[in-house]
Amino acid sequence: MSEPKPTYRHDYRPPAYRVRHTELRFDLEPGATRVRARLHVERHPERQAGEPLVLDGEQLLLTSIAIDGQALAEAEYALSDTGLTVLRPPERFLLDTEVEISPRENTALEGLYLSNGMYCTQCEAEGFRRITYYPDRPDVMATFSTTVVGDKATLPVLLSNGNPVERGELPDGRHFVTWDDPFPKPSYLFALVAGDLQKVEDRFTTMSGRDVTLQIWVEKANLGKTDHAMASLKRAMQWDEQTYGREYDLDLFMIVAVDDFNMGAMENKGLNIFNTAAVLTHPHTATDATFQRVEGIVAHEYFHNWSGNRVTCRDWFQLSLKEGFTVFRDQCFSADVNSAPVKRIEDVAFFRTAQFAEDAGPTAHPVRPDHYIEIGNFYTLTIYEKGAEVVRMLCNLVGWEAFRRGSDLYFERFDGQAVTIEDFVDCMAEASGLDLSQFMLWYSQAGTPEIDAHGEYDYANAEYRLTLRQRTPATPDQPEKLALHIPIRMGLVGTKSGRDLALTLDGKPLDRDGVIHLREAEQTFVFTDVPEAPVPSLLRGFSAPVQLRFPYGREDLAFLLANDSDGFNRWDAGQRLAMLALDDLIAAHRNGVEKVMDPRVVEAFRALLERGSKDKAVMAEMLTLPSEAYIAEQQPLVDVEAIHAARTFVEQSLAAALSDDFLRLYEENRSDIPYAPTPEQIGQRSLKNVALSYLMAIEDEQAVALAHQQFEADHNMTDVRHALTLLVHSSRDDLADPALRAFGEKWAHEPLVMDQWFAIQVTRPQTDALERVRYLMGHPAFSLKNPNRVRALVGTFANQNRINFHRTDGEGYRLLTDVVIELNRLNPEIAARLVTPLTRWQRFDEPRQELMKGELERIRAEKLSPNVYEVIEKALAQ
């Protein structure tokens, strides 16, 4: 295999030819599906006549090709591994091709493949080229007419984008349906589904009074698990009308659930295809977290109908144009329909752990990358989550009203077009009158900006001087960075009054939101008329995706934890306080010194428990210690054992000191009322389960009995899963083993529940976890061909069981490598994602570095897919 070549953003050129309309006909057969395509092609007005027509195509067997009805001679076109070139096409013509493909052999799950006997497609980003020869790039937009032909007995349901316009019977027990999609779209939004499916149907009336049919298609066994997705869809449709003035445009909106799917879901026009894990729910099988995830993903894909489909990306470097904006939209939706502070806390906790790690590692890239080898590797936390943070900053900078005007302008001006990130930001600049040129650096510079802040209170002059210094560390290809425009929402909390003080900056009151704008490498802000000594509350609501350091004392943090008016920063003060204690304990562990718990942390938690909170979900977050992964992210060099020991010590110390409070909290929040995924119930359950986790940290008889009872009570999956996890992660194998066995037998027929069963076992801190992974890979419910199974068993182990994955004998690394090597052949997209933990080798001690690099070398010696090749090269280039 020759070395894969990068694609550069600066090489962008409009296509030489456009496709006005695309007619497709599929004759479905597992091993030999015939695809006939008729493309209505014309020369791009800005390009010269006589240029060749270049079509993408991979793993296709061409059986015929004609232009305007005339078969082409061999000399008139050229075929390669990556496509087909028509050497001298006319200005305007019909191109007919016929190819043969094999869905049965397709384990990469890109293009047309078979999942559990049903045909389905995944075309984003470059899957359509595995279906037919086509200009497979997002700036070629065409209307589609698709005829699907299949065996009527085994494939009674035949779906594609748009509206069904014709159906009928054919000889040999076959039938067909023709679908018309009137909205021009790029090939990546094409979809086809065929199988033995059942539907659940509902209706939605749009704001202009149009009636839309909503359908969720599933296998028969899953018919009872669609209610929540349907309700979420209707809520999302209404929210987008109310919030963004966006209405649905076709008469039919379909969701299909498939077992084998690389991502969560895909926003194909009118026919969203979902991973079963991202759409199916039932109180007996799904946890609260799954209910919330399903709601968010259903909304996300629906929102793409405007931010992505009606207005799409000019090229894949602009991916965050649709993904960052759509994630921002789904985050706001979830915040509106659930607990807004908790949504923000969860998103930021995840962001600061996983995106910060990505931005500090060998695959760091800007929100708008400059080059890629395999675009499939760029569906990253940076494109999605950092992209969303950048849009959020824009929204906060210009204010909601201007942001909404900018978004209206964007959708109107560019409807039906493929555009760039600049086009989007220009609309925001135009609608607000703000100069956003410095802000654009957020799109081009990779790496997490670090801000060092310090402040001084001047009693004599009643002034508070806040100095901020920003610096963005070097990242691959980007040694030098410029100063960014960073909005910092802040307050000064009076130490006497415990209240936010009025802020006067440069003689003027600071705007109502309390935002200061850091634009220089170093800037000092002088607040005047500050009547009492304050503690600054900085970066409220995580107003910018940065790492902010301030030399807070523990008293300051306990004070903010009790008094900050910003809920997010109250939570963050607790996290910072815990981090200070954890840092000391990590050092103690490393130095072999006895660990002593900081009484100030215990008292802060006690005060928190005594004060209580109206929002139970917020309270649960406040009581949750930073994860091992987050703690690791904050250390210069990761000491896996010390982090685990320190965190466990803090948990046990708090549990021992506050066990009465935790017991009270547990009892107060028990409930027998029927399960519903409402924000109130979810909050109550998380608080109860946090309390149970603390009680189980010391494993006294009473705690063990409570966990066991909660498991046996079998009230809902959230409680059952939590109790089972605590038992399996405890030393009580006498209770855990029978519980695990019972759970595994009960749910053997439910793959998504078996995923939970795998995850619970492989996150066990005991030393047998790795052997369990190897053993469970032979379990009948496991398959390397199903991405959900791989993620639940192998991905969960490598990412969430840090002490066992990083075993000093290197067995964890070896296990992951073995799986990556196999998946490199079967499913390169999943393989390239799964290898991530090994690419972070620079963060660990030298013996581990050597072991990890050794495994990366072992992968490099294989014949690699472009996906894995790109990641491994970056990881080893460090």
Show which residues are catalytic: 301
For residue 125, state whether it binds ligand B3K (rule: CB under 6 A): yes
Name which of Zn ion, ligand B3K, none residue 147 binds, using a CB cut-off of 5 to 8 Å depending on partner kind.
Answer: none
Give 96 or 267: the residue with its C-beta nearer to ligand B3K.
267
8 A C-beta contact, residue 517 and residue 485: yes
Tell me how many degrees the CA angle 489-495-496 measures, rounded to the nearest 5.
135
Q: How far is the CB of 329 from Zn ion (least distance, A)?
A: 10
Give 378 or 782: the residue with its C-beta nearer to ligand B3K.
378
For ligand B3K, which stretch binds (CB under 6 A), given 111-119, 262-270, 357-365, 471-479? Answer: 262-270
Give 329 or 722: the residue with its C-beta nearer to ligand B3K.
329
For residue 330, state whether it binds ligand B3K (rule: CB under 6 A): no
Nearest C-alpha neighbor of 831 from the set 820, 840, 842, 847: 820
Tokens 């019977």, residue located: 169
Name which of ligand B3K, Zn ion, none residue 330 binds, using a CB cut-off of 5 to 8 Å depending on partner kind.
Answer: none
The whole-angstrom separation of Cα 672 and Cα 662 is: 19
Residue type, 825: R
Give 84 or 297: the residue with its C-beta nearer to Zn ion.
297
Q: How far is the CB of 848 from ligand B3K (least distance, A)?
A: 31
For residue 834, state whether it binds ligand B3K (rule: CB under 6 A): no
Give 379 or 600: the residue with its C-beta nearer to ligand B3K.
379
Backbone angles phi, psi at 594, to 5 degrees: -60, 140
8 A C-beta contact, residue 788 and residue 777: no
For residue 383, state whether it binds ligand B3K (rule: CB under 6 A): no
Give 125 or 604: the residue with its C-beta nearer to ligand B3K.
125
Tell me how many degrees the CA angle 163-168-169 measures, rounded to the nearest 5.
150
Among 27, 58, 301, 566, binds ligand B3K (CB under 6 A): 301
Paired tokens of 137:
């790039």
Nearest C-alpha neighbor of 457 from the set 513, 573, 536: 536
Q: How far is the CB of 272 from Zn ion (least distance, A)?
A: 11
Name which of Zn ion, ligand B3K, none residue 481 binds, using a CB cut-off of 5 to 8 Å depending on partner kind.
Answer: none
For residue 541, state whether it binds ligand B3K (rule: CB under 6 A): no
Give 274 or 550: the residue with its C-beta nearer to ligand B3K.
274
Q: CA torsion 635→638→639→644, rounded to 10°?
A: 80
Residue type, 702: Q
Among 98, 124, 136, 358, binds ligand B3K (CB under 6 A): 124
For residue 608, state whether it binds ligand B3K (rule: CB under 6 A): no
The whole-angstrom separation of Cα 438 and Cα 489 is: 18
The whole-angstrom separation of Cα 247 and Cα 555 is: 51
8 A C-beta contact, residue 637 and residue 845: yes
For residue 139, state whether it binds ligand B3K (rule: CB under 6 A): no
Paired tokens of 362:
């060998």
Paired tokens of 299:
């909304």
Entry field: residues in the chain: 878
Give 267 or 628: the residue with its C-beta nearer to Zn ion.
267
Query: 3-class DSSP state for residue 555?
Result: helix
Q: How far is the CB of 82 from ligand B3K (least distance, A)?
A: 18
Give 125 or 484: the residue with its C-beta nearer to ligand B3K.
125
What DSSP state is assigned to residue 781?
A: T
Burial class (CB in 10 A: 0-12, 13-18, 19+), 168: exposed
Alpha helix ranges (H) inside 245-362: 288-303, 319-337, 340-350, 356-359
For residue 386, state whether it binds ligand B3K (rule: CB under 6 A): no
For residue 260, state whether it binds ligand B3K (rule: CB under 6 A): no
Site for ligand B3K in 188-227 (CB under 6 A): none
Site for ligand B3K in 688-717 (CB under 6 A): none
For ligand B3K, which stretch binds (CB under 6 A), given 172-180, 194-202, 258-266, 629-637? Answer: 258-266
Q: How far is the CB of 475 from ligand B3K (least distance, A)?
A: 23
The whole-angstrom separation of Cα 217 and Cα 492 is: 53
Query: 3-class DSSP state for residue 117?
Result: coil
The whole-angstrom separation of Cα 731 and Cα 460 is: 60
Give 263 or 838: the residue with its C-beta nearer to ligand B3K.
263
Strand 142-151, strand 17-27: pairing: parallel
For residue 255, state whether it binds ligand B3K (rule: CB under 6 A): no
For ligand B3K, which stretch binds (CB under 6 A), given 88-96, 300-308, 363-371, 747-755? Answer: 300-308
Q: How far is the CB of 344 from ligand B3K (least distance, A)?
A: 21
8 A C-beta contact, residue 768 and residue 732: no
For residue 236, state whether it binds ligand B3K (rule: CB under 6 A): no
Q: How far is the CB of 750 from ligand B3K (least distance, A)?
A: 25
Nearest C-alpha neighbor of 859 from the set 837, 831, 878: 831
Give the start-end residues of each E strand in 459-530: 463-471, 486-494, 504-505, 508-509, 515-518, 522-528
Q: How far is the CB of 319 from ligand B3K (least distance, A)?
A: 9
Q: How far is the CB of 833 from ligand B3K (least distance, A)?
A: 10
The whole-angstrom separation of Cα 801 and Cα 628 is: 9
Give 86 or 120: the residue with its C-beta nearer to ligand B3K.
120
Interface with Zn ion: number of residues (CB under 5 A): 2
Name which of ligand B3K, Zn ion, none residue 683 binds, using a CB cut-off of 5 to 8 Å depending on partner kind.
Answer: none
8 A C-beta contact, residue 131 and residue 112: yes
8 A C-beta contact, residue 718 and residue 754: no
Site for Zn ion in 293-352 (CB under 5 A): 323, 326
Give the start-end residues of each E strand in 111-197: 111-115, 118-122, 142-151, 157-160, 163-170, 174-185, 192-195
Paired tokens of 600:
């100030």
Give the start-end residues of each E strand in 495-546: 504-505, 508-509, 515-518, 522-528, 534-538
Q: Which residue's beta carbon is nearest to the bound ligand B3K?
A: 124
Binding mask 28-67 vs ligand B3K (x if CB under 6 A, - otherwise)? Answer: ----------------------------------------
For ligand B3K, which stretch binds (CB under 6 A), given 263-271, 588-596, 652-660, 840-848? Answer: 263-271
Among 204, 379, 411, 414, binds ligand B3K (CB under 6 A): 379
Nearest C-alpha neighbor of 200 from the set 177, 227, 161, 221: 227
Binding mask 792-821 vs Zn ion (x if CB under 5 A, - otherwise)? Answer: ------------------------------
Give 324 or 567: the residue with its C-beta nearer to ligand B3K.
324
Nearest C-alpha neighbor of 218 from the set 209, 208, 210, 228: 228
Name which of Zn ion, ligand B3K, none residue 647 binds, using a CB cut-off of 5 to 8 Å depending on partner kind.
Answer: none
Site for ligand B3K in 423-452 (CB under 6 A): none
Query: How far is residue 291 CA from its own chain's centroid?
Result: 16
Q: Which CA distances in Å does 506 have to 266, 530, 639? A: 50, 13, 46
For residue 300, state whether it binds ligand B3K (rule: CB under 6 A): yes
Nearest C-alpha neighbor of 703 from the set 739, 656, 639, 741: 656
For residue 267, state whether it binds ligand B3K (rule: CB under 6 A): yes
For residue 240, state whether it binds ligand B3K (rule: CB under 6 A): no
Among 258, 266, 311, 790, binds ligand B3K (CB under 6 A): 266
Name which of ligand B3K, Zn ion, none residue 376 binds, using a CB cut-off of 5 to 8 Å depending on partner kind.
Answer: ligand B3K
Give 299 or 781: the residue with its C-beta nearer to Zn ion.
299
Q: Which residues contact 444 (CB under 8 A, 6 or more apart)?
A: 366, 368, 370
Q: How far is the CB of 300 from ligand B3K (least distance, A)?
A: 6
- List residues binding Zn ion (CB under 5 A): 323, 326
- List residues binding ligand B3K (CB under 6 A): 124-125, 262-263, 265-267, 300-301, 304, 323, 376, 379
